Structure formats: structure tokens, C-alpha cells
């Protein structure tokens, strides 16, 4: 009878062990209790959430944007400085303002781009202050239908030389491209790129080639300065009394104050974090993830979680419906515990700033956000 009871206890223990098997531990400095393994979603561990904002250095950024949606309105101007004496020697036959388009995003993040061309306007912005809210961009030069369907295609505008836009004595010129219709945002190479916007002067050379025809030479100037004009519209801020926004066209940050003491047991017992995930209270209906113009799969929202005190960080990647592909911050939590800290200030910010127009809305109520923790208890031998 005693043997049956003994084997019954052993069998029951093995069943519990197989259901809640903890990760193996290699640290010989501590004795771990495998039966103390817990998995909890803690909604009362974040004391507060604070929002901070800062500007993006668009001039030095490798991407720039032009378009008009319910959420953003954007365009940009570029400054050129002419340092080559060739411009004062002869008049060009034509001048081409050239930009390189990468990708266009439809206004509704869930929709695939079904447009092939959209209208954009070119402006002379020399000595002009752009006002996005009133659509005051400068002197209109022309409006053109440009290809938004393909990626990595060239956009260009030939300057009308009869308008005296530039003369041989000029040393600077500012040109801009701004939206002419609504519904999408287009991404182009920006000021920080080696293939940023350019101005190309074409000349007919009086010397003829071996076939007896005139030859053409060109002189190209890359933009010296790029000024990005970005307006955030009311549709993205209607709920700012209840939600904070992290925008990938902005340099937004949230600081989550995590109460580490609530993870620390009393006495000499220690906590070993096997796994931990940060779960901010995201509103799917107020957030927007965008579809690429050439594929039907949702883009991810890329974030980074940073320990404000140490600078330690991990990458977080989130897809549609608040589904996480990457979300493991366990070692940051463990480090804060090992250092005896009572609070961890975790900075959450986009890590894909300037690369797509997605944004997420996070509740300002700290109790609605949570921390998921898998942990076991340990004692010093």
C-alpha cells in the first residue's frame, strides 16, 4: 500500500513538471526551485506613462516625404549652390530637377496602393517661407502626374528657361515639390542620401563627334540643403486626451515607470526572470500600420525599448492586431533586479523613424498596460 502511495506521488509530480517545465539554469551560484515557476501578466506593475517629443533632423535624413492624407501633409524644398564657373560661361539648353522615388503608401494603412500616377506640383521656393496649413508653397512652376506605383523610379521636372528662373549670374536656387491631390504619401531619397535630389544642366557642345553631330555635356549639382515640411493633422490627435501616439514620422517617446519591487520576493529569496514581455495598452482602431505599394502584407511597427539608466536596449517588432514578432525584455528586467533598483524607467520609441508613416496609439492609463513575466525563485546556497 505504501509503494502505491509513493509511486502515485512521483507520477503526480512528473505530470506537474511536464506541464510547467521551466527553462534550464546554468548559474551554479544559486539553487533554483523548479516548482516555483510562475507565468503572470501583471497589470499593476507600471506606475506611470510619460510622453516626450522631439524633432526629426529631416535635412540630414536619407528619406523625405510628399503627400496629403487624413493624418499627415508633407512636402519639401531643396537648396542648390552653384560653385562651378561653367555656369557663367554659357547658357544651358535645359535644366532638369531630378528626384528618386522609393515607395508610395495609401492613406488607409490596410489598403494596397491601386494608383499608378498622382499629381504633384513643383515650386520656386527661393526666399519663400512655406506654410503647409494654407498650402502656401511659393511660386508655382508646374503640376505633373508622376509614377507612384513602381519603386525606385525617377521623378523629374524640366525648368522653363524662358521664365528667367535662373541666370548665368545666379549662385543659388531653391526648388520644392508639394502635394496636389490627397490620398497617399510618397517617400523619396532625402538630404542625407548620396543620391539626394539633383539639378542637372545640359549644354550643346559646338565640337562634333566622329559622326559629325553635336555632342551634349551635362553639369550636375546635388542638393546642399533639404527642408522637410511636415504637418500632423487633427485626425491623429483627436484622442490625445486619452492616448499617447508613437509615430514613425516623428521622434516620439514614452517613458514607462515599472515598479521592480513588485517582482522581488521578501527575505533572501531571489527572482530569476526566464522571460518577460512589455505589453502597452494599444488601441488597434486608433493605430495605423501601412501596406507597401508593391505587396499585400502588412508592414511591421518597429520599436526599441531602452533602460534609461543603463542604456541597455532591445528591439520590438509588432504587426497587425498587436501581434508581436519580437518582444523580449527579460534581461533588462533581470539586470534591474540584480542591481537592487526599485524602479525601471523604460523608454519606448520608434526605431524606424522617417521610413514609413505608421503610428500606434497607447492608452495613457498606466494600469491598462502590463508586463508579462515568466520567472522562478532562487536562493543562495
Tens digit of each residue's pLDDT (9 = 90 or more) over 65-80:
999 999 999 999 999 9
The pLDDT value given to residue 199 = 93
Query: Is 8 within the bounds of a domain?
Result: no
Q: Is the pLDDT of residue 242 over 80?
A: yes
CA nearest 348: which of 276, 263, 253, 269? 253
What percentage of the chain reaches a pLDDT higher than 90?
54
Q: Is the pLDDT of residue 84 over 90?
A: no
The pLDDT value given to residue 7 = 39
Q: Is the pLDDT of residue 206 over 60?
A: yes
Q: Are strands 370-379 and 31-42 parallel, antiparallel or unpaired?
A: antiparallel
DSSP state of 18: H
pLDDT tens string 140-153: 999 999 999 877 89
Q: Is the pLDDT of residue 278 over 70?
A: yes
Please enumerate in sequence order all residues whose Cβ is within 8 A of that of 285, keeping only pairs 6 or more positions apart, or say none: none
Could you tell me which residue, 243 or 59, shows the higher pLDDT?
243
What confidence category does residue 367 fall into, taking pLDDT thresholds of 50, 70 and 90? very high
**End-to-end CA separation in angstroms for the chain:** 37
What confidence category does residue 161 fall into, taking pLDDT thresholds of 50, 70 and 90? confident
Is residue 199 located within the same domain as residue 308?
Answer: no
DSSP state of 323: -
Q: Is the pLDDT of residue 276 over 60?
A: yes
Q: What is the dihedral of CA 326, 332, 333, 339, to 10 degrees?
A: 180
Is residue 37 located within the same domain as residue 67?
Answer: no
Whole-number average pLDDT of the chain: 84
Q: Which of 232, 260, 285 is the last residue of a domain?
A: 232
The pLDDT value given to residue 239 = 81
CA dist list (Å): 71 to 44, 113, 232, 233: 33, 17, 6, 5
Is residue 135 located within the same domain as residue 27?
Answer: no
C-alpha cell at 106: 495609401
Q: Stretch 39-56: mean pLDDT, rounded?
A: 91
Range of the domain at 286: 20-53+250-379
CA dist list (Å): 44 to 255, 331, 367: 16, 20, 6
Is residue 201 located within the same domain as residue 66?
Answer: yes
The pLDDT value given to residue 34 = 54
The pLDDT value given to residue 213 = 65
Query: Is 2 within the bounds of a domain?
Result: no
Is residue 281 located within the same domain as residue 206?
Answer: no
CA nearest 19: which of 41, 42, 37, 5? 37
Is residue 77 located within the same domain as residue 223?
Answer: yes
C-alpha cell at 311: 542604456
The pLDDT value given to residue 283 = 93
Q: Stretch 158-185: mean pLDDT, rounded?
A: 87
Query: How many domains is the chain partitioned into structurally?
Result: 2
C-alpha cell at 134: 494654407
The pLDDT value given to residue 3 = 40
The pLDDT value given to residue 379 = 63
Is residue 88 located within the same domain as residue 187?
Answer: yes
Query: Is 326 within the bounds of a domain?
Result: yes
Is residue 49 located within the same domain as residue 63?
Answer: no
What percentage of the chain reaches a pLDDT higher than 70?
82
Is residue 120 located within the same domain as residue 205?
Answer: yes
The pLDDT value given to residue 265 = 78
Q: How far is CA 318 from the centre of its chain?
A: 12
Amino acid at each position: 500500500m505504501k509503494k502505491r502511495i509513493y509511486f502515485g506521488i512521483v507520477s503526480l509530480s512528473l505530470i506537474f513538471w511536464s506541464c510547467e517545465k521551466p527553462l534550464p539554469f546554468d548559474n551554479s551560484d544559486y539553487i533554483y526551485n523548479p516548482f516555483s515557476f510562475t507565468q503572470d501578466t501583471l497589470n499593476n506593475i507600471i506606475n506611470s506613462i510619460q510622453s516626450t517629443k522631439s524633432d526629426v533632423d529631416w535635412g540630414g535624413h536619407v528619406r523625405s516625404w510628399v503627400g496629403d492624407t487624413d493624418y499627415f501633409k508633407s512636402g519639401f524644398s531643396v537648396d542648390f549652390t552653384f560653385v562651378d564657373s561653367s555656369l557663367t560661361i554659357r547658357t544651358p539648353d535645359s535644366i532638369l530637377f531630378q528626384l528618386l522615388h522609393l515607395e508610395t503608401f495609401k492613406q488607409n494603412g490596410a489598403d494596397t496602393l491601386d494608383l499608378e500616377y498622382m499629381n504633384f506640383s513643383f515650386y520656386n521656393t527661393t526666399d519663400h517661407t512655406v506654410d503647409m496649413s494654407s498650402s502656401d508653397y511659393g511660386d508655382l512652376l508646374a503640376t505633373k502626374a508622376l509614377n507612384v506605383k513602381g519603386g525606385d523610379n525617377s521623378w523629374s521636372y524640366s525648368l522653363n528657361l524662358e521664365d528667367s528662373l535662373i541666370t548665368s549670374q545666379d549662385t543659388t536656387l531653391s526648388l520644392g515639390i508639394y502635394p496636389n491631390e490627397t490620398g497617399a504619401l510618397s517617400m523619396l531619397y532625402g538630404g542625407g542620401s548620396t543620391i539626394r535630389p539633383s539639378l542637372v544642366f545640359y549644354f550643346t557642345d559646338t565640337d562634333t563627334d566622329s559622326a559629325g553631330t553635336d555632342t551634349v555635356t551635362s553639369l550636375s549639382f546635388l542638393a546642399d540643403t533639404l527642408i522637410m515640411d511636415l504637418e500632423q493633422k487633427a485626425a491623429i490627435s483627436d484622442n490625445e486626451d486619452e492616448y499617447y501616439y508613437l509615430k514613425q514620422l516623428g521622434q516620439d517617446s514614452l517613458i514607462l515607470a515599472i515598479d521592480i519591487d513588485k517582482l522581488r520576493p521578501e527575505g533572501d529569496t531571489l527572482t530569476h526572470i526566464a522571460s518577460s514581455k512589455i505589453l502597452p495598452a494599444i488601441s488597434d482602431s486608433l493605430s495605423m500600420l501601412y501596406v507597401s505599394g508593391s505587396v499585400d502584407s502588412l508592414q511591421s511597427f518597429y520599436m526599441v525599448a531602452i533602460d534609461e539608466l543603463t542604456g541597455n536596449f532591445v528591439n520590438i517588432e509588432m504587426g497587425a492586431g498587436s501581434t508581436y514578432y519580437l518582444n523580449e525584455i527579460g534581461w533588462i528586467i533581470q539586470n534591474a533586479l540584480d542591481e537592487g533598483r526599485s524602479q525601471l524607467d523604460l523608454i519606448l520609441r520608434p526605431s524606424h523613424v522617417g521610413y514609413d508613416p505608421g503610428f500606434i496609439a497607447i492608452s495613457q492609463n498606466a494600469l491598462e498596460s502590463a508586463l508579462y513575466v515568466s520567472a522562478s525563485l532562487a536562493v543562495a546556497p
